[in-house]
Amino acid sequence: MGALARATFYLELVNSGSGGWLMSVMNEIMITTKLFKPSIRQHTVERSRLYDALRLGRTLPLTLVVAPAGWGKSTIVAEWLARDGVTAGWVSLDRGDNDPVRFWRYLLLAAANAGSPAGVVALGRLDAAGSDVLRDVLPAFVNSLVSADTPLVLVLDDYHLVTSTQVHASVAMLLDRFCPGGSRLPCSAGARRRGGSHGTHGS
């Protein structure tokens, strides 16, 4: 199984604040704390069943973590990454990330932050004059993932705040066309699950 088949995207549906340090990338101000994982609490509840479900998700292109607000979805993913020693890129999204270029800049910075050369290569394409996400950036990202020695795990926190059809189409294309198995991003991925239903969903 190639590295691309083992690239997993965790879309964490939870509302958390963001802000903090800033960095400039190609004259655009980026908030570096959006790339930070949540802090791990010292005393947490053991959630073996959920950890097992997240481990299973690493064999799939996409895992959705869905539960009502306040159920600790970001925390459980961060705890699992730390417990299993999984190197992952993390980006906390907000409504400002509905711009496709901004969204992909943060996603690629998260990939680079996880040590993936694919993020660096694709960022170069993103910043090129006349660049198009679907035509130029996605192929560069995927081609670099294929040749990578290690799998890539990305956590897209607060994805429900992204409502742009262009962003959804680009993520769907990544999963549908470039990830083996033909997984597709559901249109409802950005909606928080209300009521008592909760859990993890692989596709």
pLDDT tens-place string over residues 44-72: 666 788 888 888 877 777 888 887 777 78
Per-residue pLDDT for 203 more than 90? no
What mean pLDDT is predicted for residues 85-110?
92
What mean pLDDT is predicted for residues 78-101?
90
What pLDDT, on a 0 to 100 scale, did the predictor assign at position 148? 77
Torsions phi, psi for 202 (to 5 deg): -100, 150
Q: Which residues contact 41 (CB under 8 A, 6 or more apart)?
A: 75
Contacts for 161-164 with beta carbons within 8 Å, 24 or more apart?
161/15, 161/93, 161/94, 161/95, 161/97, 161/190, 162/93, 162/95, 162/97, 162/98, 162/103, 162/190, 163/95, 163/98, 163/190, 164/98, 164/99, 164/100, 164/103
Per-residue pLDDT for 6 more than 90? no
Torsions phi, psi for 82 (to 5 deg): -70, -45
Assess contact for 25 and 31: CB atoms under 8 A: no
Assess contact for 188 and 144: CB atoms under 8 A: no
What pLDDT, on a 0 to 100 scale, did the predictor assign at position 178? 58
Torsions phi, psi for 22 (to 5 deg): -120, 150
Assess contact for 122 and 7: CB atoms under 8 A: no
Output the average pLDDT for the chain.
74
Q: What share of the chain is helix, strand, coil (3-state, %, to 5)?
A: 45, 15, 40
Nearest to 87 by CA among 43, 40, 50, 37: 37
Q: What percent of the chain has pLDDT over 90?
A: 23
What mean pLDDT is predicted for residues 73-91?
87
Per-residue pLDDT for 192 more than 80? no
In one-letter notation, the amino acid at residue 21 is W
Give per-residue pLDDT as tens, 140-162: 988 888 777 777 888 999 888 99
Residue 194 has a CB neighbour count (10 Å cut-off) of 9
